[in-house]
Amino acid sequence: MRTLPTDLADSVARHLVASGLQEDPGQAYLYAKQARNLAARVGVVREACGIAAYRAGEWAEALAELRAARRLTGRDSSLPLMADSERALGRLDRALAIVQGPDTAALDRATKIELTIVESGIRRDQGMPDAALLALQVPDLTEGRIHPWSARLFYAYADALLEAGRDEEARDWFARAAAADAGEETDAAERFDELDDVIIEDLGEEDDSPEELDLADAEFRQPDGRVQELDEPPTEPGEADAGHEEPAERESEPGEAEAVSAEGADVDDPTGHPGSEQSP
């Protein structure tokens, strides 16, 4: 902004700072537009306005501002946001043309990773979950080193796994994204917790296995082969061998029908519990 008069440059700078500090995306975009109105021929101002529009979900405005910024500055760093804006507008072919265009060859690694994440999103929108995962399987995903872009790459990969129905692998990659996200740029930790709860809940609802049912049945089988009912007192050793007669029917004494032995009432309720392949 050195080409602007000092007073005007100060005013533009104040609006841009206010935009950056504003937590509400819509309000941040308003501040950025005021800066743009004061310095429409300054590339960094148009770029800041385009980024603010993108964060506010104003896709068409974001595209217009970012294209203008690219013409004024000659930089291609805004290509991922441009491609994602085209995607958000439903123009998947245009978005893919940006991602696969010749201008991407000279981009730095961070910008290339962002384009890769956008490409994965495009494939998901096209109903191609396997292609979405394949797009993110770059060396940075599994090389074991953490880069500034690792959290976003891991997060995108986890999200793609989840959409492909591979929940346990998605859970693992959300955990990796959370561990790599020192600046809390993503909500990976929250997504991991949500999936963790769902998986545990699903396991808790599983029926008893046949082995468990056989064991439970064996625990209540009397020595004479009869199965003990839960409200029937256990047979004492030797009672099964002694001959017995069928008792004559009689009326039960008050309270007899409600009496349950403590041994017969305690029954365990067994449950069970559960890994990952993402950008991401």
Six-digit token string for 137: 């399987």
Instruction: Let me know if residue 225 belongs to a domain.
Output: no
What domain range is 191 assigned to?
137-217+275-280
221: which DSSP letter?
B
Instruction: Let me know if residue 243 belongs to a domain.
Output: no
CB 100 within 8 A of CB 128: no
| pLDDT per residue as tens, the chain (280 positions) | 677 888 889 999 999 999 999 999 999 999 999 999 999 999 999 999 999 999 999 999 999 999 999 999 999 999 999 999 999 999 999 999 999 999 899 999 999 999 999 999 999 999 999 999 999 999 999 998 999 999 999 999 999 999 999 999 999 999 999 999 998 899 999 999 998 876 655 555 555 554 444 444 444 445 555 544 445 555 554 554 444 444 444 444 444 444 333 344 443 444 443 443 433 3
pTM confidence score: 0.69
| pLDDT (0 to 100) of residue 200 | 56
Residues 182, 189: Cα–Cα separation, whole Å: 11
Give backbone dihedrals phi and psi of 227, rounded to 5 degrees, phi first.
-90, 125
Instruction: Let me know if residue 193 belongs to a domain.
Output: yes
Instruction: Let me know if residue 69 belongs to a domain.
Output: no
Instruction: Let me know if residue 255 belongs to a domain.
Output: no
Instruction: Let me know if residue 231 belongs to a domain.
Output: no
- Torsion, Cα 245 248 252 253, to 10 degrees, reads -80
Widest distance between CA atoms in the chain: 113
| pLDDT (0 to 100) of residue 2 | 72
Of the candidates 41, 32, 28, the one whose C-alpha atom is nearest the C-alpha of residue 1 is: 41
- Terminus-to-terminus CA distance in the chain, angstroms? 36
| pLDDT (0 to 100) of residue 213 | 43
- Facing residues of 221 across strands? 227
| pLDDT (0 to 100) of residue 117 | 97
- The total domain count for the chain is 1
Residues 253, 251: Cα–Cα separation, whole Å: 6
| pLDDT (0 to 100) of residue 79 | 97
Instruction: Let me know if residue 56 belongs to a domain.
Output: no
| pLDDT (0 to 100) of residue 55 | 96
Instruction: Let me know if residue 257 belongs to a domain.
Output: no
Distances (CA, A) of 139 to 101, 144, 254: 21, 9, 78
Residues 79, 110: Cα–Cα separation, whole Å: 12
Residues 122, 91: Cα–Cα separation, whole Å: 10
- CB count within 10 Å of CB 44 equals 16
| pLDDT (0 to 100) of residue 273 | 38
| pLDDT (0 to 100) of residue 206 | 53
